[in-house]
Every structure is written in structure tokens, then in C-alpha cells.
Amino acid sequence: MHSFHYHNGELHCEDVSLQTIADTYGTPTYVYSANTFRDHYTRLDAALSEVDHAIEYAVKANSNISVLRLLAELGSGFDIVSGGELYRVIKAGGDPAKCTFAGVGKTREEIEYALKQGIYCFNAESEAEVVFIDKVAGELGLVAPVALRVNPNVDAKTHKYISTGKSENKFGIDFEFIRDAYGRAAKLQNIKLRGLQMHIGSQLTSVTPFIEAVEKVAPLAADLKGLYDIEFFSIGGGVGIVYDESLDSGKPEWWANQLEDKRPLTIEQYCAGILPHLKGLGLKILVEPGRYIAGNAGVMLTRCLYEKKGTAKTFKVVDAGMNDLIRPALYEGHHDIAPVREPADDTTETVDVVGPICETGDFFCQNRPLPNFDEGDVIALLSAGAYGYVMASNYNTRGLPAEILVDGSESKVVRPRQTVEDIVAAELV
Ligand SMILES: *Cc1c(COP(=O)(O)O)cnc(C)c1O
């Protein structure tokens, strides 16, 4: 669920009109709903209440410092994938002692920084990395808390670019090798084995692969607890969100009206599916949600510049491009599109919505029936709160969009639009 809805003929985020935001701050602009972030976090926290648990929000999904601050205020921990993300968490008032550090390619600089900041755990993805963390910790006279990431070889049945739990993916240590890897890691002087971790992929819309993975890996977690006294089992992130009927899915009625076998995965269903396999372990259960927390908590606003009718198609050219929101080009990601002024009726026109970038892949939809909108009108690309702004680039020397955080009737610029002067400043040598 989320807090984007039509009110008085205009799309709103909570109590703020998106037309007003577009007119005040320009476009393209990302708008986030603080209360949607809070709602997602608290619902997950409640659904996990029957086990000792911690939520490690995956910072890479949306790393704006104001977003991190509001999650830190709720008590969230953070799953980071770089030293830069740890720096952001600290700036946001987050607690390093609640941070886990993922990623296959941690550098010496990052490991030293994380050790000095006292993070909760390094989630190591290869034995070579464990050996290196041991060496760096030894040089600093510190002991590094480490978990190994196991690759359970389970098919997440998601887009191939966001599937991470199969043996052919670069992530984690093969299930077949993991016990021996723990045995060798346990002998290192400057390592404390603290947990076990896995993450099988992103945007999973069925609970089945999650259950398959925990069924396979929970006995291993139990054994490792007995052998090395580990304290946690992190089951990763990956819970999928609604993209296809994003606007309607903001309302509780929409969920209630879905047929049982068609209803998208809910957080309650996810927890009900996995917890029976985890309850008896006596381990702290960590989850690392990114998209589930942030995805439907944000939209990107863009203005229609031109309409072009060709022989084959009608193109609506907008002022945002793939550099601002790359998911359609990178993962064939779908974003629902809603005009900010509420359509007067149900008539639609089949169009391609395209950006200004010199790439054929620069489109937000193709051959999609959409309510009519004209030049000058603002549209919202929905479900853009995760893997949106964080993946934006300066391609074509375009400034990064502005980011706005709405909280009730308040809206705040949490990052101003980047100017061309900002972009070139470091090159004026
Ligand atoms: C990206 C990532 C996540 C978050 O994935 P979502 O699909 O956004 O929930 C969690 N854990 C790790 C290790 C990741 O790389």
C-alpha cells in the first residue's frame, strides 16, 4: 500500500498535490512519501514479531540521507554495499553497530573504514575475501565479525539480471563448499564468525522460492550455531512489489478484491511462509528489504514536451530520460504512468512515452494505452522509489533530478536539482 492517490482532480502524495510540486520545483523530480516508508517498515517489523529479528534496510534501493534518517528513527539497521553507503548511514544518524556489509568486491579502504566504525557484520562472498578481512583486521589490531553468504542454488524466478541465488551467479559461496569454508574461516585469528547470510534475488512475486531456500539452508544454520556459536541467520531481501496496477494497489480494497491465486505476495504471506522454518533455530533472523520498503513509496514526475504522430506510432516526448530512471532500459522494468491531472473519462490512446536521450532504449513504455495528456501536462511514473534516483546518471550532461520528501502536508527538498555548473565543476582544470 502507499499514499499516492487522486484528490480534488489531482494526483497527491499524502496531502500534497503533485501538480504543485511540479510547478514549484520543476521536472523531472522524484517525490517520496515518508508515511509509506514508515508503514512498510512497521508492517514488516510486526509480521516478524514472533522471532528475534532485525531489519537491515538495503541502502542501495534508495540512499537519500533524509530517507535513511527516517528509517534510522524507526530503529532500522542498514545493509550496505560500499563504504560510501556506510558514510551516508552515519550522516543520517544511523548506528554502524546495526549495519551489515554485503558485496563481492570490498576494498581494503572500505574494510578498514567499516572495522573502525564498528559495523555489526561483514557478509563475505568468497574465501579470498575472508582471508583478506582477517589480514586487514589483524593489521588494525581488531577482530572482524564475519558471516559467509551461501549461494543456495535456488531459482528465484525473476528477471535474469536480478537473480542472485543460482550457482552460475557471481554471489556467495556454493552450498556444496560452505561448510568447509566455515571450517577454514574458524581457524583465522582475527575473525569472529557471527552469522550466515543468503539473498536469492530481487522482485520475487511468489513465496515459493523463499521457502525453498530457507528449507534448504535452515539446517545448515542450525549446524553452524552448534559448531561456531553463530548468532544470526540473514535471509536477505527480495520481496517483490506491485508494478502493474501500482496506483490502485495503494488502497486496501484493491488487495481485498484480488483473487486468492492472483493476489501479489504480501509481507504477511511472506512471513507466514518462512517463519515456521526459522522459529526453532534460536538464531536472530535478519531481513534485508530494499524494494519492499522504498519501491512504492516514490514516484518520478516528468512533463510532456511534445507529441509526435508518426506513420507507425504516436510518441509523447517527456523531459525525463533513461538517465533519470533506467529500470525500463536495464531490466525491462514496468512503471505505471498516471497523468497528474485526473483523467475526465476512461478514453485512452496507445502511445510510446520516450525521453530526450539519444538512445533507442530511452523509453518508459511502448504501445501502451494511456489516458490522454497534452504538451505541458505532468505525468507520474509510479513505483519509482527503489532503484530510481540511485541509478540516475549525468549521461547527455543532464543534471540529476530533484528529490522531495512529503510528510503529511509538508514537503521538503531533500536534494535540489543538479545544475550544469555542478556537473562540470570538477573538470575545470
Ligand atoms: C540488493 C540486495 C538486497 C535488497 O534487495 P531488494 O530486492 O531490494 O529487497 C538485499 N540484500 C543484498 C545482499 C542485496 O544485494
Torsion of CA 23, 351, 257, 250, to 10 degrees: -20
**Index of the ligand 1 atom closest to the CA of residue 239:** 9
Shared domain for 302 and 371, answered yes or no, is: yes
Shared domain for 187 and 271, answered yes or no, is: yes
CATH classification at residue 198: 3.20.20.10
Residue 22 Cα to ligand 1 middle (Å): 31
CATH classification at residue 341: 2.40.37.10
Give the DSSP letter string of 87-104: HHHHHTT--GGGEEE--S
Shared domain for 363 and 326, answered yes or no, is: yes
Question: Is 32 assigned a ligand-binding role in the annotation?
Answer: no
Name the residue of 41, 80, 202 whose CB sits within 8 Å of the most ligand 1 atoms, as the mutation to test its pocket. Answer: 202
Last residue of a domain, one of 287, 319, 348: 287
The residues near 102 (Cβ < 8 Å, ≥ 6 apart) are 79, 80, 81, 123, 125, 149, 197, 199, 288
Enter the DSSP assignment of 343.
P
Give the pLDDT score at 380: 98
CB-based contact 275:233 (threshold 8 Å): no
Coil, strand, or helix at residue 32? strand
Phi/psi zone of residue 273: left (φ > 0), alpha (ψ -120 to 50 degrees), beta? alpha
Shared domain for 176 and 278, answered yes or no, is: yes
Name the residue of 286, 288, 383 whose CB sits within 8 Å of the most ligand 1 atoms, as the mutation to test its pocket. Answer: 288
Q: What is the largest CA-CA distance in the chain?
A: 70
**How far is the C-alpha of 167 from the C-alpha of 148, rounded, in Å?**
15
Last residue of a domain, one of 218, 252, 287: 287
Shared domain for 308 and 387, answered yes or no, is: yes
Give the pLDDT score at 164: 81
Residue 122 Cα to ligand 1 middle (Å): 15
Give the residue whose CA is nearest to atom 3 of ligand 1: 237
Name the residue of 59, 62, 79, 232 whose CB sits within 8 Å of the most ligand 1 atoms, as the mutation to test its pocket. Answer: 79
**How far is the C-alpha of 406 from the C-alpha of 412, rounded, in Å?**
6
> Phi, psi at residue 268, to the nearest 5°?
-70, -40
Give the pLDDT score at 2: 87
> Phi, psi at residue 384, to the nearest 5°?
-110, 15
Distances (CA, A) of 298 to 43, 64, 195, 258, 311: 18, 12, 33, 23, 35
Give the pLDDT score at 347: 95
Give the residue whose CA is nearest to atom 1 of ligand 1: 58
Give the pLDDT score at 146: 98
Shared domain for 279 and 378, answered yes or no, is: no
Nearest to 317 by CA among 350, 348, 349, 362: 362
Question: Is 288 assigned a ligand-binding role in the annotation?
Answer: yes
Shared domain for 280 and 308, answered yes or no, is: no
Q: Is residue 219 part of a domain?
A: yes
To the question of pTM greater than 0.75 for the whole model, the response is yes
Last residue of a domain, one of 240, 269, 287: 287
Segments in the chain below pLDDT 50: none
Q: How many CB atoms neighbour CB 283 within 10 A?
A: 22
The residues lining ligand 1, judged by C-beta closer than 6 Å to any ligand atom, are 58, 60-61, 79, 102, 199, 202, 236-239, 288-292, 386
Please state the domain count of the chain: 2
Active site residues: 358
Shared domain for 309 and 269, answered yes or no, is: no
Enter the DSSP assignment of 419.
P
Question: Is 260 assigned a ligand-binding role in the annotation?
Answer: no
Shared domain for 300 and 235, answered yes or no, is: no
Question: Is 28 assigned a ligand-binding role in the annotation?
Answer: no
Shared domain for 122 and 265, answered yes or no, is: yes
Give the pLDDT score at 53: 98
CB-based contact 349:307 (threshold 8 Å): no
Shared domain for 21 and 124, answered yes or no, is: no
Q: Is residue 302 part of a domain?
A: yes
Give the pLDDT score at 129: 98
Amino acid sitting at position 286:
L
Give the pLDDT score at 378: 98
Shared domain for 321 and 245, answered yes or no, is: no
The domain of 256 spans: 103-287
